[in-house]
Amino acid sequence: MKNTAFYIAKRYLLADKGSTAVTFITWLAALAMMVAVTAMFIIISVFSGLEDLNQDMIANLHADLTIKSKAGKTLVNIDKVTKTLNSDQDIAHYSKTIDEKVYLSYRESGDIANLRGVDSAYIFVNPINKNIFYGTYPSFKYTNEVLMENKLDNRLSIPIGTNGQDTGVLMMPKPGTGMISSQDDIFNKKEFFVSGVFPGNDQLDNMIIAPLELTQELLNLPKKSAYQIVIKLKNPQNADQVKSELLDKLGKSYEITTKSEENAAFWKMINTEKLFIYLIFALVIFITTFNLAGAIIILQLDKKGQAKSLLSLGMNLSSLRNVYFYTGILIVTFGIVCGLTLGSAISYFQIETGFFKAGSNIDLPFPVRIRLINYLIVAGTAALFGFSISWFFSKINKSFFNNV
């Protein structure tokens, strides 16, 4: 009887003869499911592409490991730290850095920026020198040679690559108390010139990369001072293991964070947005399944006489319910298969051509990434709602046939 129920369900769906209204509503339900599945697959694939794009953009923003002091900004006993790092076979490179807010001025313009003082080994940990689109990375021959984020440089209109002939001024507030008689009592000042610019993003806006010595002088810090040490590992997959080993060697005075921990808030935001998008489209698919419910109900009413004849010929009520259940499953399966096929075709078209742009004035195509998990999520969501609705509305009883 089970095969008979499936055969009858297939005939109801594919047969040429029958009520025009039933055929229209049935295929409308299948088309609605296909469109909903297609839309959900494309949106999730776009979010996967955005996830990869963001990952590429911040890949070099944080190092594999970062060492900071638990008490205060400046690392204590820095010689002990560097000695430990030099003896660790898992560490490929490390660099001392200092991050601070600074005021900079050029002629009549000024702005507040994020100053990052780095040593000459910084590009081995964070290859920011590969992202420079105009000028050069600081040579470290001069302590006042800096690399500047592009939008900040555009706002201040600072010439690039003048070799110190056209300079701006960095101003850092002085610590301490006492009477103020002039501006020199408030700020430490250092002249600078821009050797090159690099593209910024949400976490690199207003950034200046400068030699560590310049930052130390602005802050009145000793020559060996640093706020943190950033580390490049030979195998980034071992970050947690190396972190644990370094904490055992250095003691409790230091805080060590991995790249994933530094970016935890950012990825939490991305995952929250992705979850809300998924819930919205899951709701769309759920609403779409009411077309499926309508198709099953109309089919039951239209085939009421035939259903009573089948019961008279010996088909039990359970098998008759399966006829309507299998009809719903066939509609859902058609919608899922066609929806995923159409969604994949559109996604591949976008990957190959970049036809759809992120904005009217932006020459950046929407990023798309097709993953197996996207197929499983979309198919699973549509199947869950579709099969549940099919099962629920196939539960007719004998009182349904009393008025035939």
Instruction: Provide the mean pLDDT of the chain.
Output: 82
Question: What is the mean predicted confidence (pLDDT) over 28-32?
Answer: 88
Overall residue count recorded for the chain in this entry: 404
Q: Checking DSSP bridges between strand 168-173 and strand 207-211, what pairing results, if any?
A: unpaired
pLDDT at position 394 over 90: no
Burial of 209 (0-12, 13-18, 19+ CB in 10 A): buried
How far from the centroid of its chain's Cα atoms is residue 59's Cα? 12
8 Å CB contact between 65 and 233? yes
8 Å CB contact between 104 and 170? yes
8 Å CB contact between 180 and 194? no
Write the DSSP string, 22-73. HHHHHHHHHHHHHHHHHHHHHHHHHHHHHHHHHHHHSTTTS-SEEEEESSSS
Spell 288-310 as b/e; 16+ CB within 10 A means b.
bbebbeebbebbbebbeeebeeb
Segments making up each domain of the chain, as ranges: 2-58+266-401, 65-262
In this predicted structure, what is the pLDDT of residue 353? 85
Q: What angle do CA 337, 368, 202 make, to 5 degrees?
A: 145
Handedness of CA 144, 145, 147, 151 (dihedral sign): positive
Question: What is the mean predicted confidence (pLDDT) over 302-328?
Answer: 72
**Structure pTM?**
0.67
In this predicted structure, what is the pLDDT of residue 1? 45
- Give the rounded percent of residues in the chain with a pLDDT score beyond 90: 19
In this predicted structure, what is the pLDDT of residue 404? 47
Rounded Cα–Cα distance for residues 364 and 356 (Å)? 9
Say which residues have a Cβ less than 8 Å from residue 164's Cβ, sequence separation at least 6: 142, 144, 145, 193
In this predicted structure, what is the pLDDT of residue 18? 56
In this predicted structure, what is the pLDDT of residue 41? 93
8 Å CB contact between 329 and 390? yes
Rounded Cα–Cα distance for residues 112 and 156 (Å)? 11
- In this prediction, residue 313 has a pLDDT band, given cuts at 50, 70 and 90, of low
Rounded Cα–Cα distance for residues 60 and 135 (Å)? 20
**Tens-digit pLDDT profile for residues 231-287:** 999 888 888 899 998 888 888 888 988 887 777 777 788 888 888 988 998 999 999
- In this prediction, residue 361 has a pLDDT band, given cuts at 50, 70 and 90, of low
Q: Which of 182-186, 294-298, 330-334 shows the lowest mean pLDDT across its residues?
A: 182-186
**Tens-digit pLDDT profile for residues 182-222:** 566 677 888 888 888 888 766 667 888 999 999 998 888 88
In this predicted structure, what is the pLDDT of residue 58? 66
8 Å CB contact between 212 and 119? yes
8 Å CB contact between 356 and 350? yes
Residue 320, SS3 per DSSP: helix
Rounded Cα–Cα distance for residues 127 and 187 (Å)? 32
pLDDT at position 29 over 90: no
Q: Checking DSSP bridges between strand 109-118 and strand 207-211, what pairing results, if any?
A: parallel
